[in-house]
Structure 1
Amino acid sequence: MRTLGTVTIGQAPRPDVGPILEKHLAAKAELVQVGVLDGMTKEQVYASFRPEPGDYVLTSRLADGDSVVMAREKIAPVLQRKIDGLEERGCRHILVLCTGVFEGLSTKRAELLEPDELLAPIVAAMVGRKRFGVIVPLAEQAESLTAKWSKHGLKPVVAAASPYRYSESEMAAACARLKDETDIVLLDCMGYTEPMRAFVAEKTGLPVILSNALMAKVVSEMI
């Protein structure tokens, strides 16, 4: 059986994302999961990857279900080493489990699948001229998100609600912000789940795109 290597910027395995990938892969490939933060304590993560003012901020999940906030510039070299390791293990396809923007990631021969490169043009085509709403984990991500989507001609209305420290009241507040200002909503993080999508759809009455489900469908067509 073919293998699909996956790299989370948190810790592996990912019980939230893994089942979604497995559902859409439909036994086409076996998942091999690794994480940038594998083997690290929360204190070690904070000491090594703590964001500084002006950093591109990312968040992900630890094995115990807690979440951490990190600087992209600090985790990128470790992410590349994890990709190299998966390729050495024989993975022909390697998926980065993060919708953030990374520059310069590479493989020697394996196909590297980056959600930002694959999903952004697909979502832009789906949105078209509709008013576009995006929910992200952190309010600090709004500025970088606006830059990301402007490349595709979109001006998103952004709201924040974390999938990792999930609160229905926080998500409901995000939905309230988007409900009358947008026509379609994207959950722009690999940590959001199908129940969260259903909650947002119910509260807003709008179509809701789940990043990891869309990514899983695309990857399943490529393997």
Structure 2
Amino acid sequence: MDKLGMITIGQAPRTDVAPIVERALEGRAELIQAGALDGLSFAYIQEHLSPSPGEYVLTSRLTTGESVVISREKIQPLLQEKITRMEEQGIRTILLLCTGVFPGLHTRTAFLIEPDHVLPPVIKAMSGGRRVGLIGPLEEQKDNLKLKFNPHGMNPGFAAASPYSSSEEEFRHAAGQFKDQADLIVLDCMGYTDVHRELAARYAGVPVVLSNALIGKLVSEMV
């Protein structure tokens, strides 16, 4: 059986979202998981990997269920190490489980699927010039998440609700901001689940794209 590597910027296994990707694979490939923060404690992550002023902010989930806010600049070497190790294990297709932008990640010959390269042009084509709204985890991610859509002629709206820590009421408030203000919503984080998609669709009244489901379906064609 073929193998698909999946690397989270948090800790593996991602029992919350792995089933969404596995559903897309339809049993054609085994999902092999790794995480940039594997083996690190919550206290260590907070002390050494939290964002400093001006750094690119990310958030992810630990195997304990806790969420952490981390710096791209500080975790990228750990992430590259996991990618390299996975390729050395013979895995030929590797999915990055994050929609953030990571300049310079690379493999020697394996396919590295980075959702930030895939999501904006696909959403551009799907939306057909209609109004797009983004829901992302943190308010401080607003500018960076919107920025990756700008080269595609898009200026999406933004609302914050974390897949890891926000209540249903907070999610209702975020999705409700797009009521009559967007024609399509994108859940712009690989940590959202079908529950979040259903909530957003209910409170905004428009179609909602679950990023990990969309990317999973596309990547499934490569295995």
TM-score (norm 1): 0.98
CA distance in 1, matches of 2:60, 2:101: 14
Question: 2:154 is matched with which residue?
Answer: 154
SS in structure 2 of the partner of residue 59 of structure 1: strand
When the two structures are aligned, how many residues end up with a matched partner? 223
Q: What code does the residue aligned with 1:196 have? A: H
Shift of 1:180: 2.0
CA distance in 1, matches of 2:113, 2:41: 28
CA distance in 2, matches of 1:67, 1:115: 21
Shift of 1:62: 0.4
Shift of 1:146: 2.1
Question: 2:138 is matched with which residue?
Answer: 138
Question: 1:208 is matched with which residue?
Answer: 208
Shift of 1:166: 3.1
CA distance in 2, matches of 1:192, 1:8: 13
CA distance in 2, matches of 1:119, 1:132: 13
Shift of 1:195: 1.2
1:16-165 correspondence to structure 2 within 5 Å = 16-165=16-165
SS in structure 1 of the partner of residue 177 of structure 2: helix
Deviation beyond 6 Å, 4+ runs, structure 1? none
SS in structure 1 of the partner of residue 33 of structure 2: strand
Question: 1:179 is matched with which residue?
Answer: 179
CA distance in 2, matches of 1:146, 1:213: 20
SS in structure 2 of the partner of residue 38 of structure 1: coil
SS in structure 2 of the partner of residue 215 of structure 1: helix
- For residues 103-133 of structure 1, the C-alpha deviation after alignment (integer angstroms, 9 at most, x for no partner) is 1111111111111112221111112211110
CA distance in 2, matches of 1:182, 1:2: 40
8 Å Cα contact 2:177-2:204 kept in structure 1: no
SS in structure 1 of the partner of residue 209 of structure 2: strand
SS in structure 1 of the partner of residue 148 of structure 2: helix
Once superposed, what is the RMSD of the aligned Cα atoms? 0.8
TM-score (norm 2): 0.98
Structure 1, unmatched stretches of 5+, are none
